[in-house]
Amino acid sequence: MEQRALRYEQLADELAGLIAERILRPGDRLPSVRTMAREKKLSVSTVVQALRQLEERGQVEARPQSGFFVRPLTASRNAQLEPQARQRRSRPVAVDISSRLMGVVALNSRPDMVPLGPAMPAAELLPIAPLQRLYGQVGRQSARLLDAASHSQLNHPDLVRQFVRHSLTWGQALAADEIVVTNSCTEALLLCLRAVTRPGDTVAVESPSYYLMLQLLEELGLKALEIPTHPRHGLSVDALEIASRERRIAACLLVSNFNNPLGSLVPDEEKRRLATLTAERGIPVIEDDIFGDLHYGPHRPWPLKSFDTAGNVMLCSSLSKTLSPSLRLGYVAAGRYHADVVMQKTLTSGATNPVTQAVAARYLESTAYDRHLRGLRRVYEKQVMQMSEAVLRHFPAGTRLSQPQGGFVLWVELPAGGDGTALFEEAAKASIAIVPGDLFSASGHFRNCLRLNCGNPWSPRFEDAIRRLGAFAAAQCAAGRRADEPKA
């Protein structure tokens, strides 16, 4: 028995060495179990034990019907390099980030900046030319679209049909009569908040939480209650359960699939618990699923709404991250709050551009969309991996990284002495755009963190930007250590 254990451990160490030396690189497929058993003159069970050990170390992953693959570098590092889950109890606080956020956004939007700040996909990754052709076709063939009344017919039926079709694999498909087409996911979130809250109400949010969500709370005069969020498993249902016993929560605003900025994914069993808990306690849930289609695994994760049997979850999404942010096209599947959302949409902006709705519908119904998504997922996964590897090469020891399972943003936690806000200011002087971590918290937490955009193809320009950021961070941390040293 000891000899057998030694053999699988030796094989695991041998494969781990090949991974460390980058002979086997992230994303590479390992030889099949039978091939390794034959070449190494080992039993199949011994090889399987070795692979399971590497899986437990986080160095390889099994993909159904495909075999074993080397995991991205961030996933294969020791778990201590992952950002720490926050267990801090919180209280509702007023949000006050808009003035500073607008300054950060304006600075990061300068054309000379290396775009590591705004979470936007590169134009060359998007199907711009096919969309332009479709605009021409729709304009010629459906000229009467421009005659449509702007406040009576909110949805183009063909687009709604495509949103429903796209949801058929989610376990519980969307209903056509609950959908409202919006001007972006941000408007969808705003409409939902207006439908179920009043100024002064408390809204539960993830911690960290996407800064535009916090900005919406500020605009509506709502308080944010930050719920501890695990860097891989998302919002803590246990913490939300306790918080909802202690005070009235008017709504819960979250991203269950690939939180921005962590890239976390709430497990299905926790989604089921969350849907049940919020329905029982009368807490409307506003779910942002904008990154749901950008999963790295073989299957799209179901949104929280798929586990909702009470019509309590309002699912918001858009085509900004997959087709083009310039479309300004999103939707909300509002469940039992549909009439309230329709009223808010009618009062706020009326119908979303009907020509753009028709263009999106034609693209979504083509086979090109599914092919585009498959390629985009692989591209984003690779770009996140490349950014992660560069950060680990250039940032100071002790830097922690998120392990996104989808989307294209990376959360970086600096070691002792690191300051994301000071790093943002230093980076801006060098024409590098980043977003400081404290903008993802209504309470000013995460000052030692930052978020990086991985939506652009990797190039020497980005490698150099990360190298310079790492040098700034290293100098910052060294200065902090010197300041902490006892005076002679």
The structural domains of the chain, ordered by start, are 2-71 (1.10.10.10), 126-368 (3.40.640.10), 371-484 (3.90.1150.10)
Q: Give pLDDT tens digits for 427-437.
A: 999 999 999 99
pLDDT of residue 89: 66
Range 452-480 average pLDDT: 95
The model carries a pTM of: 0.84
Q: Give pLDDT tens digits for 150-192.
A: 667 899 999 999 999 999 999 899 999 999 999 999 999 999 9
Q: Which two tokens stand for residue 240?
A: 């939300």
pLDDT of residue 5: 46
| For residue 482, pLDDT beyond 80 | no
Q: Give pLDDT tens digits for 107-165.
A: 999 999 999 999 999 999 999 999 999 999 998 888 777 776 666 789 999 999 999 99
pLDDT of residue 147: 73
pLDDT of residue 79: 40
Query: Three-state secondary structure along the chain?
Result: CHHHHHHHHHHHHHHHHHHHCCCCCCCCECCCHHHHHHHHCCCHHHHHHHHHHHHHCCCEEEECCCEEEECCHHHHCCHHHCCCCCCCCCCCEECCCHHHHHHHHHHHCCCCCEECCCCCCCHHHCCHHHHHHHHHHHHHHCHHHHHCCCCCCCCCHHHHHHHHHHCCCCCCCCCHHHEEEECHHHHHHHHHHHHHCCCCCEEEEEECCCHHHHHHHHHCCCEEEEEEEECCCEECHHHHHHHHHHCCCCEEEECCECCCCCCCECCHHHHHHHHHHHHHCCCCEEEECCCCCCECCCCCCCCHHHHCCCCCEEEEEECCCCCCHHHCCEEEECHHHHHHHHHHHHHHCCCCCHHHHHHHHHHHHCHHHHHHHHHHHHHHHHHHHHHHHHHHHHCCCCCEECCCCECCEEEEECCCCCCHHHHHHHHHHCCEECEEHHHHCCCCCCCCEEEEECCCCCCHHHHHHHHHHHHHHHHHHHHHHHHHCCCC
- Determine the angle formed by the axes of helices 184-196 and 338-348, rounding to 10 degrees: 120
Q: Give pLDDT tens digits for 45-74.
A: 899 888 988 887 677 888 767 788 887 654
Sorting pLDDT into bands at 50, 70 and 90, what band is 7? confident
Q: How many CB atoms lie within 10 A of CB 459?
A: 11
Q: Give pLDDT tens digits for 327-372.
A: 999 999 999 999 999 999 999 999 999 999 999 999 999 999 999 9
| For residue 204, pLDDT beyond 70 | yes
pLDDT of residue 78: 40
pLDDT of residue 251: 98
pLDDT of residue 317: 98
Range 70-91 average pLDDT: 62
pLDDT of residue 90: 79
Q: Give pLDDT tens digits for 288-301.
A: 999 999 999 888 99
| For residue 80, pLDDT beyond 60 | no
Average pLDDT of the chain, as a whole number: 91
User: By mean pLDDT, which of 75-84, 437-446, 468-477 is the weakest?
Assistant: 75-84
Sorting pLDDT into bands at 50, 70 and 90, what band is 1? very low
Spatial contact of 319 and 344, defined as CB atoms under 8 Å apart:
no
Range 212-230 average pLDDT: 97
pLDDT of residue 455: 96
Give the distance, in angstroms, between the CA of residue 117 and the centroid of all CA atoms in the same chain. Answer: 14
